[in-house]
Amino acid sequence: MAYCGDEKESSVTPEQVFWNRRNFIKQLSIGAVYAGATGSQGVWAQSAPDYSGHDLKDQLSSEFVVTHHNNFYEFSTDKQKPAKMAKSFQPGNDWQVEISGEVEKAGRFTLENILKWVEQEERIYRLRCVEAWSMVVPWTGFQLSQLIKHVQPTSKARYVEFKTLRDPKVFPGQKRGTFGMYSLPWPYTEGVTMQEALNPLAFIATGVYGKKLPGQNGAPLRLVLPWKYGFKSIKSIVSIKFTEKQPISTWNKRLPNEYGFYANVNPKVDHPRWSQATERRITNESFLGVKKIPTQMFNGYGNEVAHLYKGLDLTKYF
């Protein structure tokens, strides 16, 4: 896609985060209670007085953009196609997630079960793709640490591995050879350290813009790790495994020189195919966005996560 958006860089103030922790959502039907700080396209988020030091001025990406410009290779490598192809992918609360490995309460649980363990809320996060575009998304869901505390990992658990559903009947992109050289080893797999998973920013989204998560955004539950490149935020999760060994993630397996395990947003470490110094912020249906926004270390969430990587050479552990 051409980079020919307008240059209005004043519309963005990075380095900030917005947590609307007051906006707790207790019902399963989140659509009905969506209100407050966010709104339709073009509305500016207000600062959260109960979360000191942050004052988000990032303009929300419109609901249309968030739900019609997607990376979901199980459907297509094209950004606009997942929205069309996912129309019949509408999983409900009977969706099952297997929790396994180094954990006391292993088992198969429905989304309905899981939602009884946690408190849902809304969070507005920046999403930064390694392809150098970004958005600002109002998610609904729950802090991942709530789920982890409920299932009680053992002392051996050092990592958490996530897997997406593998079913070529649901996801045509998983049919053999669909994308030729772009094909990925399915199921899509991701992983984080326990410390990363327990960090308060790590989130599981079940909704966006106050509505149930659409198929193209990873229904019915997906990871959201705002300080990492978007590919870590794995969609349509069916497996959560606690492990001693570092999981091998899909992109790392496919192209190890391009995609590391950590994948923290870092303007100083370029991807071989994309400079990471700046990004293109997409806000409206032109999909063009504002280009050359300076990319922030940890996508602007350094205050919350930098301590996790003390002493780690982030050019080596990219």
Ligand X SMILES: Nc1nc2c(c(=O)[nH]1)N[C@H]1C(S)=C(S)[C@@H](COP(=O)(O)O)O[C@H]1N2
- The residues that touch ligand X, with contacts defined as CB under 6 A, are 70-74, 127, 129, 164, 188, 217-218, 230-231, 233-236
Shortest separation between residue 131's beta carbon and Mo ion, angstroms = 6
Q: Closer CB to ligand X, residue 37 or residue 234? A: 234
Per rule CB under 5 A, is residue 265 in the interface with Mo ion? no
Shortest separation between residue 49's beta carbon and ligand X, angstroms = 29
Q: Closer CB to ligand X, residue 226 or residue 230? A: 230
Q: Which of residues 106-135 bind Mo ion (CB under 5 A)?
A: 129
Per rule CB under 5 A, is residue 264 in the interface with Mo ion? no
Q: Closer CB to ligand X, residue 182 or residue 303? A: 182
Binding mask 217-236 for Mo ion (x = CB under 5 A): -------------xx-----
In 47-84, which positions are buried (b, 16+ CB within 10 angstroms) versus exposed (e)? Answer: ebeeeeebbbebbbbbbebbbbbbbbbbbbeebebbbe
Q: Which residue is nearest to ligand X (CB)?
A: 230
Q: Which long-range contacts (CB under 8 A, 24 or more apart) does 104-108 make?
A: 104/151, 104/152, 104/153, 104/154, 105/150, 105/151, 105/152, 106/151
Shortest separation between residue 127's beta carbon and ligand X, angstroms = 6
Sort strands 189-193 and 107-110 into parallel, antiparallel or unpaired.
unpaired
Among Mo ion, ligand X, none, the one that 123 touches (CB under a kind-dependent 5 to 8 A) is none
Shortest separation between residue 36's beta carbon and Mo ion, angstroms = 29
Q: Closer CB to ligand X, residue 102 or residue 164? A: 164
Among ligand X, Mo ion, none, the one that 160 touches (CB under a kind-dependent 5 to 8 A) is none
Shortest separation between residue 264's beta carbon and Mo ion, angstroms = 14
Shortest separation between residue 35's beta carbon and ligand X, angstroms = 22
